[in-house]
């Protein structure tokens, strides 16, 4: 009888410890100031092993790339948008930037990232040691310019790490939540939406979600591990320039590809 009671007490204690550690995990964000690549105090491998969001402050120009107003404002890159009637329209990047906000977001953001050569920027991360041996070579990031009323709606990370890099303009704000903070049976209700404006009238359970807000100024970045939810917007009415890149293992790459495959 005594052994049974002792075992039950230990089991309850273990469950309490696991629950406590899980709750603490949901609200931890690591922070690191970037230092030169030849400095031995660059503990990327240690930070990555924590599987927690990592804010990296003061990243070098090579890590952020040339995604900014000064270098791109005169570009005539083909930019595809959709008007209020749903028709696709072609314009140039320079014309799109000159359009007052709010403006429709480009539908060919991936092509704009390739034109801006952002693949070189994310390759600089791995060249400076922000990687694991099991990761695949990173693909070209997807850029965005978020002005008034624009946002990147809520989505769940499937990549081993998803990086959001603020490059120019206004600071951008991130809404992040661990998967344990969002009810699994109704989480699809939130996908693609702006979490800052949702109320219990639209999503009854939204007020119970425990989330973290991060403000990223240009030159700073955050790396979000898999199984977290996130959304991005500008911190004000001015344009916030940023890009989103992913670091994958073969398994996470297949999971992401399956998630993004069109549904029949």
Indicate the domain borders of the chain: 30-72+117-260
Q: What's the predicted TM-score (pTM) here?
A: 0.87
C-alpha angle 45-19-3 in degrees, rounded to nearest 5: 115
Given this model, what pLDDT does residue 17 score?
35
> Which residue from 72, 161, 33, 62 is spatially nearest to 176, judged by alpha carbons?
161
What's the whole-number mean pLDDT along residues 186-211? Answer: 90
Name the 3-class secondary structure at 56. Answer: strand
User: What digits encode the pLDDT tens for the residues 119-163?
Assistant: 999 999 999 889 888 999 999 999 999 999 999 999 999 999 999
The string of pLDDT tens digits covering residues 22-37 is 444 466 889 999 986 5
- Would you say residue 210 has pLDDT above 60? yes
Looking at per-residue pLDDT, the higher value among 112 and 256 belongs to 112
Q: What percent of the chain has pLDDT over 90?
A: 65
With respect to CATH, is domain 30-72+117-260 assigned 2.60.120.650?
yes
pLDDT beyond 50 at 19: no
Question: What is the reported pLDDT for 258?
Answer: 78
At residue 77, the pLDDT reads 97
CA atoms of 81 and 228, how far apart (whole Å): 29
- Of 220, 245, 226, nearest in space to 163 by CA: 245
- H-run or E-run covering 233: strand 228-234
Distance, CA of 53 to CA of 47 (rounded, Å): 9
Confidence band for 42, pLDDT divided at 50, 70 and 90: low
What is the pLDDT confidence band of residue 262, given thresholds at 50, 70 and 90? low
User: How confident is the model at residue 56, as a pLDDT?
Assistant: 95
Q: Collapse the DSSP code of 263 into the 3-class scheme (helix H, G, I; strand E, B; otherwise coil) and give the result.
A: coil
Q: How confident is the model at residue 264 (pLDDT cuts 50, 70, 90)?
A: low
């Amino acid at each position: 009888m005594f052994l049974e009671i002792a075992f039950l007490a230990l089991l309850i204690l273990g469950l309490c410890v696991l629950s406590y550690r899980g709750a603490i995990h949901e609200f931890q964000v690591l922070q690191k100031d970037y230092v030169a690549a030849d400095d031995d105090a660059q503990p990327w491998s240690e930070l990555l092993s924590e599987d927690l969001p990592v804010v990296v402050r003061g990243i070098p120009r090579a890590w952020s790339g040339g995604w900014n107003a000064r270098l791109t404002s005169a570009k005539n890159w083909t930019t595809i948008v959709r008007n209020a009637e749903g028709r696709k329209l072609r314009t140039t990047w320079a014309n799109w930037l000159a359009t007052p906000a709010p403006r429709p977001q480009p539908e060919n953001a991936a092509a704009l990232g390739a034109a801006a050569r952002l693949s070189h920027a994310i390759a600089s991360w791995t060249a400076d040691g922000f990687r694991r041996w099991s990761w695949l070579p990173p693909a070209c990031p997807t850029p965005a310019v978020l002005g008034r009323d624009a946002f990147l709606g809520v989505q769940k990370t499937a990549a081993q790490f998803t990086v959001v890099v603020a490059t120019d303009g206004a600071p951008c704000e991130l809404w992040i939540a661990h998967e344990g903070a969002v009810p699994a049976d109704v989480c699809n209700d939130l996908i693609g939406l702006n979490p800052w404006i949702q109320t219990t009238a639209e999503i009854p359970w939204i007020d119970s979600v425990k989330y973290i807000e991060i403000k990223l100024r240009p030159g700073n970045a955050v790396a979000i591990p898999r199984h977290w939810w996130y959304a991005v917007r500008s911190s004000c009415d001015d344009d916030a320039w940023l890009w989103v890149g992913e670091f994958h293992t073969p398994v996470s790459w297949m999971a992401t590809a399956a998630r993004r495959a069109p549904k029949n």
